[in-house]
């Protein structure tokens, strides 16, 4: 790295790594790692972008590490290079103080491929659900809110997480079936943004 000061902690937000992280979770970061020790499959925080990006390294070639969100459909436009300030994510802090490990290397790549298969399945499911949207008045209202420090709001019904809306205003259902049976409050401006099923390409 180029000597740029790198924060000692980071919090996850967005949808691109959902399934690995939950918005608002605090990430455990490894000590400074030489660029040469990065592996395909490692999850890294790119502090060279603001807001910073938490994505997975999916390939290393020509002196750069290509990153991509597990739920995204294309690599990032800003790969890591030896001068990029970054940290590898090794775990997630749970509410009780324990740490959930985050897979890296080949295990991380297997996780990435699994998430990509799920993303494609969700996209197909979304196409099947879309014609049923006129029936939304029959869906159950999910009104219980959980707010995260990044501005994300998550709604649940009887303790079951249903959907989340990020700072961009985009509403994302956590599973395609939940869009069939539940509905969430509209935004204050009367719009729900662009509804999506979990796995959207929002960073």
- Write out the two tokens for 182: 């539940």
Supply the pLDDT for residue 85: 93
What are the pLDDT digits (tens) for 154-172?
999 888 888 888 887 888 8
Owner of token pair 């204050």: 188
pLDDT in tens, the chain (203 residues): 544 566 778 999 888 998 899 888 999 999 989 999 999 999 999 998 888 999 999 999 989 999 999 999 999 999 999 999 999 999 999 878 889 999 999 999 999 999 999 888 877 877 776 666 655 556 788 888 888 887 888 999 888 888 888 887 888 888 777 877 888 887 665 444 443 434 333 34
Query: CA 183 to CA 16: how far, in whole Å?
Result: 22
Supply the pLDDT for residue 50: 85
- pTM here is 0.64
Domain ranges of the chain: 10-119, 132-197
Query: CA 171 to CA 198: how far, in whole Å?
Result: 9
């Amino acid at each position: 790295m180029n000597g740029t000061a790198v924060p000692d902690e980071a919090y996850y937000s967005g949808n691109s790594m959902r399934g690995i992280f939950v918005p608002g979770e605090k990430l455990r970061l490894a000590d400074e790692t030489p660029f040469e020790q990065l592996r395909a499959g490692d999850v890294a925080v790119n502090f060279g972008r603001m807001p910073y990006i938490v994505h997975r390294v999916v390939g290393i070639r020509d002196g750069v590490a290509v990153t991509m969100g597990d739920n995204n459909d294309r690599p990032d436009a800003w790969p890591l290079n030896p001068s990029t300030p970054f940290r590898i994510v090794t775990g997630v802090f749970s509410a009780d103080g324990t740490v959930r490990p985050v897979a890296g290397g080949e295990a991380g790549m297997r996780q990435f491929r699994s998430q990509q298969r799920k993303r494609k399945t969700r996209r197909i499911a979304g196409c099947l659900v879309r014609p049923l949207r006129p029936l939304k008045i029959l869906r159950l209202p999910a009104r219980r809110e959980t707010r995260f420090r990044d501005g994300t709001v998550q709604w649940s019904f009887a303790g079951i997480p249903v959907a989340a809306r990020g700072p961009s205003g985009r509403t994302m259902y956590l599973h395609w079936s939940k869009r069939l049976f539940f509905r969430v409050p509209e935004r204050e401006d009367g719009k729900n943004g662009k509804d999506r099923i979990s796995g959207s390409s929002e960073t």
